[in-house]
Structure 1
Amino acid sequence: MNQVSQRKTICVIDGQGGGIGSTIIKRIKEHFGESVEIIALGTNAIATAQMLKARANRGASGENAIVRTVARVDVVIGTLCIMLAHAMMGEVTPEMAEAVSGCKAAKLILPISQENVDLIGVSRDPLPHLVDMLIVDHLKPLLDATS
C-alpha cells in the first residue's frame, strides 16, 4: 500500500464565509502537513473557496457533496451547526445534518453556534483556543490510535 492511500482523510465542513473552516484547516496543516488529506466541504461555493485557499487538498460544495463525502472519510470536523437542520441561516439542510450525525466517521465538533442553542457545561473559549484543543487533545490522539 502506498503512502498516499494510508493517509487519514479529514473532512472540514463550514458555511457562509468559510472563516471557521479556514482557521481549522490552516492549523491542521501547520500541525500535520501533508500526512493527512483534508477535504473542504462548504454549504456554499464561497465557503469552499475560502477553505481551499487555506490549503485543503480538495473541496466541494452543497448538499449532495456533503451527504456523499461524510460517508467515506475518517474524521468530520465542524461547528455544532453542521449537525443542526436549517442552521447557518438555512444553509444546513436536514439531509446534511442527518448525514453528518449518522456517519461512521469520528466527529470533532466545536461548541460554536450562531443558532439559539446553549451548550451547558462547555467553556466559551475563543476560536483559536478551541482549535488548539481540537487538534492536540482530540485529533492527534485519534489519528495516532488508528495508525
Structure 2
Amino acid sequence: MKIAVIDGQGGGIGKSLIEKIIKSDLRNLDIIALGTNALATAGMIKAGARTGATGENAIIVNAGKVDVIMGPIAIVIPNSIMGEITQGISLSIGNSDAMKILIPLNRCNVEIPGTTAYTVGELIDFAIEELGKIQKNSSQ
C-alpha cells in the first residue's frame, strides 16, 4: 500500500506520523514524504519515509498515485500553513481517489468540535489505527 504523508513548515506532524507508522505492526507500506518545502520533506525522510519530494507540483502529481494520504487537516484548506498550501495542492488532495486520514488540528481558523480533549499524539495514534483498518480492509 502506498501512503503519502504531506506536511509543511518543519514537517513535525508528518515526521510524527511516519515514526509511529514505522513503529506500528503495519507492514508492506511504501511511505512517501511530500513536503511543501525542503525542510518538511527532509524531516519526514529522516523519520523513515522511503522517498520524498518537495513542492506544489510534486504533491499534485503524487496525490493521484497513492492509496492513502495522511497529514494535518490544513492540507485540504487553501492558503493554510501560513500560505504554504496552495489552491492546487488542496484541490489535488481533495480530488484524489486516495483515502484521506487527516489529523484534526484546531488551527487555520478551523475548529473541529470534540478534538480539544485529545493531545496531538493521541490524534496521531487514532490516525495510525485508522490506517490499520484501511490496510486490513484492502487486503480482504
Name the TM-score class by shorter chain: over 0.9
Q: Partner residue of 1:49?
A: 42
Runs of 4+ in structure 1 off by over 6 angstroms are: none
SS in 1 for 2:34: strand
Report which stretch shifted further, 11-20 or 34-43. Answer: 34-43
Q: How far did 1:124 drift?
A: 3.9
TM-score norm. by structure 1 comes to 0.90
Q: Partner residue of 1:125?
A: 118
Q: Does 1:23 align with 2:16?
A: yes
Q: Does 1:103 align with 2:96?
A: yes
Q: Does 1:85 align with 2:107?
A: no
SS in 1 for 2:24: helix
- Is the Cα–Cα contact under 8 Å of residues 13 and 21 in structure 1 kept in the other structure? yes
Identity %: 40
Equivalent position amino acid for 1:119 in 2: I
TM-score norm. by structure 2 comes to 0.94
- Is the Cα–Cα contact under 8 Å of residues 79 and 113 in structure 1 kept in the other structure? no
SS in 2 for 1:72: coil
Equivalent position amino acid for 2:14 in 1: G
- Is the Cα–Cα contact under 8 Å of residues 63 and 92 in structure 2 kept in the other structure? yes
1:76 to 69, 79, 98: 69
Equivalent position amino acid for 1:86 in 2: N
Report the Cα distance in structure 1 between the residues aligned to 2:117 and 2:90, rounded to whole angstroms.
23
- Is the Cα–Cα contact under 8 Å of residues 52 and 59 in structure 1 kept in the other structure? yes
Q: Structure 2: give runs of 5+ residues left out of the alignment.
A: none
Q: How far did 1:32 drift?
A: 4.2
2:135 to 130, 135, 143: 143
SS in 1 for 2:59: helix
Q: How far did 1:128 drift?
A: 1.2
- Is the Cα–Cα contact under 8 Å of residues 81 and 113 in structure 1 kept in the other structure? no
- Is the Cα–Cα contact under 8 Å of residues 106 and 112 in structure 2 kept in the other structure? no
Q: Does 1:66 align with 2:59?
A: yes
Q: Structure 1: give runs of 5+ residues left out of the alignment.
A: 1-7
1:94 to 76, 87, 98: 87
Q: Partner residue of 1:5?
A: none
